[in-house]
Chain A
Amino acid sequence: MERFLDVAIAGLLLGGLYALIAMGMSLQYGVARVFNIAHGEFIMLGAMTTWTLYTVFNISPLVAVVICGPLAFVLGFIIHRTMFRKLQSLSANQGVFESNSMLASFGLMFVIQNIAFLAWGPEIRTYNYLMETVSIGGALFGARRLVTLGFAIAIGVIFYIFLARTRIGKAIRAAGQDPSTAGLMGVNINWVLALCFGLGAAMAGIAGVLISMSYPDSANMGQEYLTVAIIVVVLGGLGSIPGSFIGGFLLGIIGSIVSFYEPGLNMAAYYAIFVILLLVRPRGIMGR
């Protein structure tokens, strides 16, 4: 029983982070139609900023959530209102825009990464926060990782309620389904698309804050989380936010089971799932 709890809870702890990362990316692609290759860099910015806030200004990472999230939102919003909106107006159709925006996000990734190298250097950064041990049914876990899971679930649920119950959420869903018709119904499409891109960046930023609490960070960390995000987004269904939420937890649990038996096969298992899914159910768990 203790072993089962060990594996299951460890999977949920990791899955919560994966879900948060992937939900942001899914929102950006599902509504704003930008397959944001720079998504991992927003995670990195959140993590490195938290490290700076904690080690230089002694600001708690839990407080950093409310600093990094809005900052990442503003950055994402501005980037969409400038770069991606311009690209959209120059693209002949949606397909061309999706290709161009993906290429542009590649460039954005290198720009952010190199700025981060200049700002923080390539060293691995870490800090001690909530290092206490918590026992659940005899299985031991770090308090910081349980806090991370709590945040990930809370943010996922709040975001789902925001999408399902609010007027802006309805506008976002409408824009995701059919931007032209949503525009005709009075939805300010450009604003909504930028909002979605900003929200996706905010989620990445918050994920970065939570990651920095449990894992070492560096200016180079974005790409590895991008890989995970892409796998989860495809697993959940391209553009499906609930799918990403479920997919994140699913991948976390699978990773935990594999790590329990053979840690060396951890990433191999992720890619194997990715390939099997593309062959068996290309639209993902909840894809349209």
Chain B
Amino acid sequence: MWSRIRKNVLPLCFCLLIVITILATFIGCKEEVTTTAPPVTATVTQTVAPPATTTAKPAPKDKIVVGMSRSFSGPIAIIDDSAFRPVYETWVKEVNAAGGIFVAEYGKKLPIELKTYDDKSDPATMAQLTEKLILQDKVDFLWGGGGTSFIYAQAPIANKYNYILITMEGGATTLQEMLPSLPYVFVTLPFSTWYEMPVLADMLASKGVKSAYIIYISDLHGVEYNGAAGIEFGKKGIQILGSKAVPPDIKDLSPVIKEAKASGADAFCAFAYPDQVFPAVGMSIELDYNPKVWLGGPGINFGFFHTGFGPMVEGVMGWAGWNRKSSAALNTLADKLYKDKPEDAQDWWGQAYYWAGLDMWKAAIEKAGTLDNKKVRDILATERFQTVLGETWFDKGLLNKETHAGEVGQWINGVYEVVGPFDKATAEWVYPKPAWPK
């Protein structure tokens, strides 16, 4: 018997290792429940005073359960990891440390408990998990999944069951058109026509840019940005010399970069995701293609773009939402999110908007004094709130453009600065883009 065990010990150990890894991964990804008990003696400034007396109290409740289907694995995991997750983890910890959210109908503060599932980057799985969160888990609220295509799948479900859905990573003009029929959906992130492309076109025109060459990912995101650029650039007399769709899994971008270079366009725009934008940057450096404007995104706004390309990022532009210098509140937010953390974790586009969205949700619950989604929705849709962005409100389901702290960014001296619109710029736009460092 011992000889058999000895003979099989290596295969057995290996299989055991595999089983343990699968179980650990499964448990880790399948369901993460985070509960932080509020400190008993927390001192908190109330934004809404509790009523002196309450009558006909509902069944006792000791927490607010928020459900999320997020992409912890698969191709979209990068979005979860780099965009909303650092925000909600920090935000929930902070709110719970202060005792939670005061809900008048319970007469006390309730901490937030997150119930999260891994949708493995699959919108269909995300849709199923969203229904599970609503129907089986009966969560009190939902927070959005990651990515525009996920919002398309999730928004009608949330709306159908009268659940508020504050979306995070994603937004689109076609989604904006759907919002009147989705009164429970609120979009935080700016997108092409809201107001990135108009601002970019204004900026380019102000410097006398006459022509542009565009590559775009052949999906909804790319098609929309390419279309918006066609309209907005056209209004400013900027001629589009070339426009090429690239598939998500393209390997060799040299033909399109060479074509862009040959076109002699003043501006080069890559409306795609990091998987395409990063190779486009690499290929531009490799082929010494240095137009006056090199703009790409999403992706340029992440800290890991800087850590990856180092000094090569100087002058490269992308979409931007905020910067430390935008306001004292945003500087404090940057400390909360990034202090003592690797630069890879930084996102200078969406994270301030996500944080503001959560602040608004909390304030709306406190004002409504209930966890009733309809009552909270009505307040979210009509009221104005003080958030990290200053006075903030939703305008027909979209975060009002006045609240945006920026639309276009540029890497200047190793910092991702807001350079457009000019009245919200944290640094002067460097035009033309300097040569790639040798």
Contacts and interface: CB of A to CB of B under 8 A. Distances in A.
Interface of A: 6-7, 10, 13-14, 78-79, 81-83, 85-86, 107-108, 110-111, 113-115, 117-118, 121-128, 131, 133, 140-142, 144-145, 214-216, 218, 220, 224, 227, 255-256, 259-260, 262-268
B135 interface: no
Contacts of A86: 8, 11
A127 B77 CA distance: 21
Contacts of A255: 251-252
A12 B251 CA distance: 13
Interface stretch (B271-279, B328-336, B372-380, B427-435): B271-279
B356 interface: no
A117 B250 contact: no
Given A124-B275, A216-B308, 18 more contacts: A10-B254, A82-B10, A82-B14, A110-B22, A114-B25, A114-B73, A123-B302, A126-B278, A128-B312, A131-B312, A144-B286, A216-B282, A224-B249, A259-B255, A259-B256, A263-B244, A263-B255, A264-B247
Given A83-B14, A122-B81, A115 B288 contact: no
B58 interface: no
A127 B258 contact: no
Nearest to A13: B252
Contact of A128 (B15, B274, B288, B309): B309
Interface string B1-22: 0000000101100110010011
B21 A121 contact: no
A108 B14 CA distance: 11
Given A10-B252, A10-B255, A86-B11, A123 B78 contact: yes
Given A111-B18, A215-B282, A264 B218 contact: yes
B81 A123 contact: yes
Contacts of A78: 14
What secondary structure prevails in chain A residues at the interface with B?
Answer: helix
B74 interface: yes
A212 B244 CA distance: 25
A13 B254 CA distance: 11
Contacts of B252: 10, 13-14, 255-256, 259
B51 interface: no
B239 to A, nearest CB: 21
A140 B249 contact: no
B124 interface: no
A31 B272 CA distance: 41
B348 to A, nearest CB: 15
B344 A123 contact: yes
Nearest to A144: B286
9 closest A-B pairs by CB:
A142-B286, A122-B77, A126-B308, A264-B245, A216-B278, A114-B25, A122-B78, A82-B14, A86-B11
A107 B18 contact: yes
Residue from the set A114, A123, A131, A255 with the largest chain B CB neighbour count within 10 Å:
A123
Contacts of B75: 220
Interface in B80-100: 80-82
A285 B137 CA distance: 55
